[in-house]
Amino acid sequence: MMISKKMEEALNQQIAFEGYASFLYLSMATWCDHKGLQGCAKFLQRQSEEERMHMMKIFEYLSDVDGFAKTPGISEPPHEFKTVQEVFQSVYEHEKKVTQSINKLVALANKEDDYATQTFLQWYVNEQREEEAQMRTVLDRITLIGDGPQSLYFIDKEMEALNKAAEAAESAGEEA
Ligand code: FEO
């Protein structure tokens, strides 16, 4: 089957969106690392890699449906952030925008009766639900810990715990 030009163009915009998210989270990881927040840095590095994987999945899909994936130019992300709370709030806001963008893609695929793309996008719909829920968990924990003088140490420990849980889930998945 061949994908429509309009759907191809919309998926290429999503490629650019995922690519930007990957670089944005990498920049945030670097900022955290520089502040000595290794747990936060590692969490954001993983998120950055996930975004690259989200981008690459669209490359593969477009190749399968005889479309053409464009390697995007990426705008320079910010390098400075005020606080770690602000970093994770921004990630959450960004993820909500990505969800809206995925929903628009689903609406377009429905309008075009493009069943293959509808099915392909279901993976992203589930992924966005998980990512938003995860970021809400992170923000809730940061709020609980508060912003007292010791808070950064405890926030970083919490993020390290989330990293360990993610690693355990990954290796369980590999064994399954
Ligand atoms: Fe690729 Fe976090 O959305």
Report the C-alpha gap between 84 and 66 in whole angstroms: 43
Q: Which residues contact 64 (CB under 8 A, 6 or more apart)?
A: none
Give the position of tokens 């925008």.
97
- Residue 8 CA to ligand 1 centre (angstroms): 19
Report the C-alpha gap between 118 and 31 in whole angstroms: 37
Give the fold, CATH level 3, of 5-175.
Ferritin (1.20.1260)
- Roughly what angle, to the nearest 10 degrees, separates helices 84-111 and 5-34? 170
Each of the 176 residues of the chain gets a pLDDT tens digit; together they read 689 999 999 999 999 999 999 999 999 999 999 999 999 999 999 999 999 999 999 999 999 999 999 999 999 999 999 999 999 999 999 999 999 999 999 999 999 999 999 999 999 999 999 999 999 999 999 999 987 778 999 999 999 999 999 999 989 987 65
Q: What residue type is assigned to position 18 of the chain?
A: E
What residue ranges do the domains of the chain occupy?
5-175
- Residue 146 CA to ligand 1 centre (angstroms): 27
Nearest atom in ligand 1 to 98's CA: 3
pTM metric for this prediction: 0.94
